[in-house]
A and B are shown apart, each in its own frame.
Chain A
């Protein structure tokens, strides 16, 4: 069973629940007919679909609070949803849960150039923030591939990254403040335009909490001045191992490029067939290195990187000579996923991270796994920070291929952990990697994380069934087990 068994008594109370929600929200904010709800039955992980109990689309923070308080009081589960672009099933609906969409929160509320901040409602897209400030020469740094569609609230939930986080950080490093609603229906503000809010860092744990701790209703982010110059370099290698080593060599030389991406031969050719980016088709691996800053710095560093790349065995080097050419270099990388979609009926996109130095070893293991499972794999990496996106090619209509592809994917992630890495670098755990959490964490590690969840949501009403493979009741988690489950001092009060 993928999701927790729906509670029959909630399903039986559907009419009452829908009626109550309609009384809390303006007309048009509750969707309860099955045909319209179909639009919300999955997120970016479209292999999994499920109709929610009902969909609500509130318009104000107070309405979000009213819905959450009512659901808490009535024991009804909530699944929050931004733009529904999660690649890990974070917004997959529950049959007995209210799907709470933030789509109507679509306004940028303040742009403050003097303090370099933008305050926006959570449904505003990632790209819309940059669009709003780019005429004044600013941008918002985290740039997930889905930036045209994904929402800034969803970015907080997933701690989204992108190709430039090597130098500019993930969402967590670029968000300054939030307003959020807790499962109790309390409205809480943390941070703002000032730094490092007092108390335990709730902003920090909310970021990447996958909608399990609260619902974000406003976001304040840091914007940056666009660099004076950006140039990209295409570097071809005869072996993937050499390319992997080259990545470490550049970092070890003290250079942190704005982006350092890697594609293997199948990905190079798929991209080349799709957009004609001018990639070297014969190369076993390609690095795209981007440098930004003042022109003199970029020129100087490009020179240094080129020298390092030659020393690492590069078979070809091209440097973008114009903004048009730079965009062309990136076009292939940015369309790698749809390009792979053209050469295979289906693909699974994985998302593990490994230490940079383990890249060559991982690539060797990947080709062995590809043979073992009889499935092709195309590799697209954020190589600079060790974040892998292997695309496993399969045909869902071929008997058993989906299961084989999923097993292949799981083995890749187990290898990431074995090489000192992690299950997910930027896509989140969601339902996709939930059952692999035990590969990386012990039962004790996971229980401590769930105790934190209990501080926010003691009844597990907010997005249950995601991230954690086993849901422990908070009362059980709160018990003190001092000596192997035996309390030596029974006089200590328990909770």
Chain B
């Protein structure tokens, strides 16, 4: 697949009849979708998890489980609950339609299906699915800077701490605070303050690909550095510090922006590692960076150093 061709949306058809699968394949051939076919509920649920399709076309009468039960299970699993499910059924019962929609199906197509209607309903489900995913992502993005927001940081940091503990891998957190931001805002106005936030955020977002940059609060940012220990992360933070201080402000000669950084890794934590303790350790280091003159990177104290580092 080339980079300029966007990935085709995946559609999973769950139906026990090969007659239906062949028909769907022929009828949806000219749509820009990847159609996958499975013949029973068990395979269907597994395929939904692995394939992560945008849309599922689900028959009601399956041999192993009925379609309602399949839908209920898909909705109960966080991995599959956001997939748009369209019932495709020969049942003409209004009760079936109501029950399907109440369980969370987005639509219902009767069998035998009208080709134009089927295509239109699949397209409509795909459109809706795109919007839902966009909204879900928007809700975790900071409106001004486009970085992940605090809510996302909390979720992601908890997940990264759990993973690092389980696999005994290093994990670091950087807290970054723009220096004298309030007086900058007061002197040059909020629009300029916003511009400073955006430019600094762009620096943090433009770092190494595994790092996760978030807006932590007003002029404070956080960077999760998975798989990276304190020393290496201090190097990363130092590069960000230097780049922020080198930002050019052609319209405002003489202005120089700087930021202070506090870095901590799991080795700086006493007792069981938690996201809160990691944030607190990085925050103490940040406080020291501010106290000792700003525009610098300070690492938190290690409770213990790995033997390899002496």
Q: Do the two chains belong together in a single complex?
A: no
Interface of B toward A, CB cutoff 8 Å? none
